[in-house]
Structure 1
Amino acid sequence: MNAPRQGLFASLLIVCFVLQTLLLVIATTHQLKENRASQGQLMTSQLITDSLPEMVPANTVSLALISNRYATNPSVASLRILDANQQVLATAGLERTRTGEVFSRDIMQGERKIGQVELTLIEPSIGEILRSEWLAMTLSLLLYILLWLAYRLIARPTRSEYLNRLQYENELKQQIDTLKNALENTSNPIPVNQPTVEPEQVQVQDVNESVNEKTICLNIQFYDPKQLLDSVSQSVAQSYFHLCQLFLNKAITQCAQHYNIAVDDFVIHESFDANGATVHIDAEKYKDAECLMMICAVFQMLADVLYRRYREEKRFVLHTRCAISSAVKEMQLDAIPAAKRLTQSLTSKESAVYVNHKFLQSMTQCYQLVTLPHPTNALTRHAYLINGMNHECADLAQRMRTQILKG
């Protein structure tokens, strides 16, 4: 029973330690710079005071001794005493090749310049600063290690929480296995009440649909930006499509029973394949459109459960996206192609709707709708993203999802 997100917490502690070390180096550099400025001003003043008696006439031996005495300071890189003509009278320093901050002042006798002193103080590198602060950094590292160990101990779930989680995962796995077994026992799944018609009747139906403004269509597509469907075998893909179709069939049945709508009213225009699935209904009343909205919500919940379970088992699965649309007169599109085009403008787990104004006003009482970003045509300009639902609808969708998973 490990604490949740130990790696994330450890990464956060590492980032905090790096930032603290960076701030420590910046603060130390600033403090050393201020100390170096004060030390440089003080040392040049003392050096001028000691050198002034030996400048006129210039006593190079005494000036050399004075320079060597100041150069014994470990912070001094180099030191030079020059006369008024910039001729070097004395020089000293143990690390003359080191760069640093240079302090230069004139040696004045009254108002006459008789010489100059140049003092270079060593500017420590970042490595030297880190070596000087090793104790503070070590203590900080130990503190962060203790915090991580304390988090592992405190955030570790109790035995009852661990057992409840195992029980929930086992129940979820059993529900998925039940659905898989039902799928395997059905070699040729039959779409929900899809009527059998003759070819001539199909042509008549297509013509009627193209002019039927009452039709509302639900289109479901897979969100597959990495083209994973092309990389799996046909048997794996077909098994996955059949399971998605089983979810859709059960969602239609449950929602139709709740809203007292005949299941025959829902026509599965296209069963699940690589391009998704399409369901439409001739909506005479608002409850027809509301039922289709609930089918969309329940299916998205079921797809999300399937995605999380299959991802844990390292199996092929994709996110889905859904759109509900009626005919678009401005673009001369009937409901089915309009729903497909609207779905293509969505990303994973998103749902959108385009219906007439009368239905739209009623939907706003149950669903939170927001406009689509960056519309490009009349369809996306008047369509809305389903951003949430009220408590009653959410509770109903969750109950239906649970019933389907247990069924």
Structure 2
Amino acid sequence: MNHLAPRQGLFAVILLASFCLHLLVLALSSEKQQYDYRTNKGEKIVEQLSKEALVAVSNQDRISLSVLANRYQLDSDVARLTISGADKTALVQTGVAQNDMGQVIEKPIIQNNQQVGQVAITMKAVSNGEVLASQWLFILGSAVLHIFLWFIYRYNARPTQEQLLQIGEKVQQRVALARFGVPTANVSQNVPQDDKDSEKQTPPSNERPQATDNKTGEKAGFSIQSYLQQQQAKNPSTSQNIATTPTETADNLPKNLHQQTMATEYELALQIRFYDEFKLLERLAPEVAQPYLHLCEQLLKRACDSLLGQRQSVLNQAVKSVTLKQLPYFDKHGAVVHLTGKSEEVTLASVLLAKLILILNQVVYEKHRELSRFALPMSVGVSTTQQFADVQHLMQSHAKEDGLLLLFPKNLLTLLNKSVQVKHINNPISIAEREMVRYEGLSQVFMKELIGKRDDILTSTERYQMSQPI
């Protein structure tokens, strides 16, 4: 489906205004040029005619004056030509347009320091129609050029598939914000009620975290701990008996996820870092920083539990063999998540979990900025445990706001071809940079599932208990 370029009407108005300005400038410049040309031409005719008509004017010879005047009145630029005597009486008056109003040029006829007559010539006025008719080629070329620019804009300004995906994510984020943006009647009337369960960040400087935060944090992580214990006690093959709903059939999953997976297991590491260009977190007061880090940790645990839990959804079935090695925790340097599982599933799970964390943080960050509270964007790097140090080094120079970097062996990277879009960086200067790729997009099925999980995490209040609003 071809999408139209944005604001085509506005661009068309700009092009039309540009074309009209071109015509206006052309008319003014051509008119000035024609005026100067006819002025110089009229002065030369009057100068020459005053010399030739000297004898005929002295003798009042109208026949000779008529012959002289007819030689100049044939010029297309001359509207009227008049030769008068000493008493201002017209001796000869001729011209092809004697009633036209135009520039009048006069010159007296002098003989022996005495005026014996006068020559007056009226040049034709410059017509805009005449100017435009003489410049038709320029006008046509300008019109063709503006039409050509119009088609270039319509073709090149169409949004790409990557931009459409980004727009879709932003729209979903706005919808999620609007969904729980109903104000309450309590003290914090500007804070939506549902946001209080998902935005446990920077408290006022006069409020300190209470002891109940640790208890509620344990409740939020209990489901993840239980899940890990169940995964260690159960045989991974038992999870294959979980039925799927009609809308979550194998047709919606990449084909390679339903093939017999290899017995080799991999351990991948997700490095979650704050995108803190100005080192704000280091200068933040502890009573503000700790609740914010606690919120980030709880959201991370929710994301792990939602993606790796035993649920009957497309995403959970795609990564059913993946387990969380240990519970993650957040500090000022971020967090690290270790995943283990079969190669196809753990590779996909690492990307899905990283993207889920990023879109969760995008909503929380935008809402906190709207409420003038402290928050930071994030960036994530994913690699094998052997390449952990390489990704940590690459993130220092290549990380972007809400960006995802992947550093996988070639055999793992090829497993993502059908579900994840990636792009190599330009002008790599090391082996690690040549092997590293940036996340560019996700399949539509997986992206819709991630957005649904994000909304469930942010809006659920029964399964998770958060600390007091901050």
TM-score by length of 2: 0.50
Question: Structure 1 pair 359/402, CA: closer, same or farther in 2 (3 Å)?
Answer: same
Question: Which of 393, 397, 400 is equivalent to 1:341?
Answer: 393
1:273 corresponding residue in structure 2: 331
2:375 corresponding residue in structure 1: 317
Contact 2:405 2:438 in 1 (8 A): yes
CA deviation profile, 1:202-247 (whole Å, cap 9, x unmatched): xxxxxxxxxxx94311011122224443554333333322222111
Highest CA radius of gyration, 1 or 2? 2
Shift of 1:342: 3.2
Shift of 1:267: 5.0
1:33 corresponding residue in structure 2: 32
Shift of 1:400: 1.2
1:302 corresponding residue in structure 2: 360
Determine if the alignment matches structure 1 residue 359 to structure 2 residue 417. Answer: no
User: Residue 30 of structure 2 aligns to which amino acid in structure 1?
Assistant: Q
2:299 corresponding residue in structure 1: 247
2:285 corresponding residue in structure 1: 233
Q: How does 1:5-404 map to 2 (within 5 A)?
A: 23=22, 26-53=25-52, 168=179, 170=181, 173-180=192-199, 185-187=212-214, 189=217, 193=225, 214-230=266-282, 232-257=284-309, 258=316, 259-261=319-321, 264-268=324-328, 271-327=329-385, 334-344=386-396, 345-404=398-457
Question: Structure 1 pair 15/385, CA: closer, same or farther in 2 (3 Å)?
Answer: same
* Cα RMSD after superposing both structures: 4.7
Secondary structure class of the residue paired with 2:375: coil
2:249 corresponding residue in structure 1: none
Shift of 1:169: 5.6
| 1: CA distance, partners of 2:198 / 2:355 | 19
Shift of 1:339: 2.9
Question: Structure 1 pair 307/256, CA: closer, same or farther in 2 (3 Å)?
Answer: same
| 1: CA distance, partners of 2:280 / 2:27 | 53
Answer with 259-268 or 282-291: which moved more: 259-268
| 1: CA distance, partners of 2:15 / 2:395 | 43
Contact 1:326 1:339 in 2 (8 A): no
User: Residue 170 of structure 1 aligns to which amino acid in structure 2?
Assistant: G
Question: Structure 1 pair 398/266, CA: closer, same or farther in 2 (3 Å)?
Answer: farther
CA deviation profile, 1:177-209 (whole Å, cap 9, x unmatched): 112369965247467659xxxxxxxxxxxxxxx
Secondary structure class of the residue paired with 2:418: coil
Question: Structure 1 pair 242/364, CA: closer, same or farther in 2 (3 Å)?
Answer: same
| 2: CA distance, partners of 1:376 / 1:323 | 19
Question: Structure 1 pair 79/296, CA: closer, same or farther in 2 (3 Å)?
Answer: farther
Question: Structure 1 pair 20/233, CA: closer, same or farther in 2 (3 Å)?
Answer: farther
Contact 1:323 1:340 in 2 (8 A): yes
Q: How many corresponding residue pairs?
A: 289
Shift of 1:277: 1.5
Secondary structure class of the residue paired with 1:322: strand
Shift of 1:249: 0.9
TM-score by length of 1: 0.57
Shift of 1:17: 11
Shift of 1:351: 0.8
Question: Structure 1 pair 45/322, CA: closer, same or farther in 2 (3 Å)?
Answer: same
Shift of 1:274: 2.8
| 1: CA distance, partners of 2:177 / 2:355 | 27
Question: Structure 1 pair 165/377, CA: closer, same or farther in 2 (3 Å)?
Answer: closer
| 1: CA distance, partners of 2:280 / 2:290 | 14
| 1: CA distance, partners of 2:370 / 2:296 | 18
Answer with 38-47 or 389-398: which moved more: 38-47
| 2: CA distance, partners of 1:246 / 1:375 | 37
Shift of 1:335: 3.5
Listed as ranges, the gaps of 5+ residues in structure 2 are 1-6, 59-84, 89-100, 109-174, 183-190, 203-208, 227-264, 310-315, 461-470
Shift of 1:14: 12
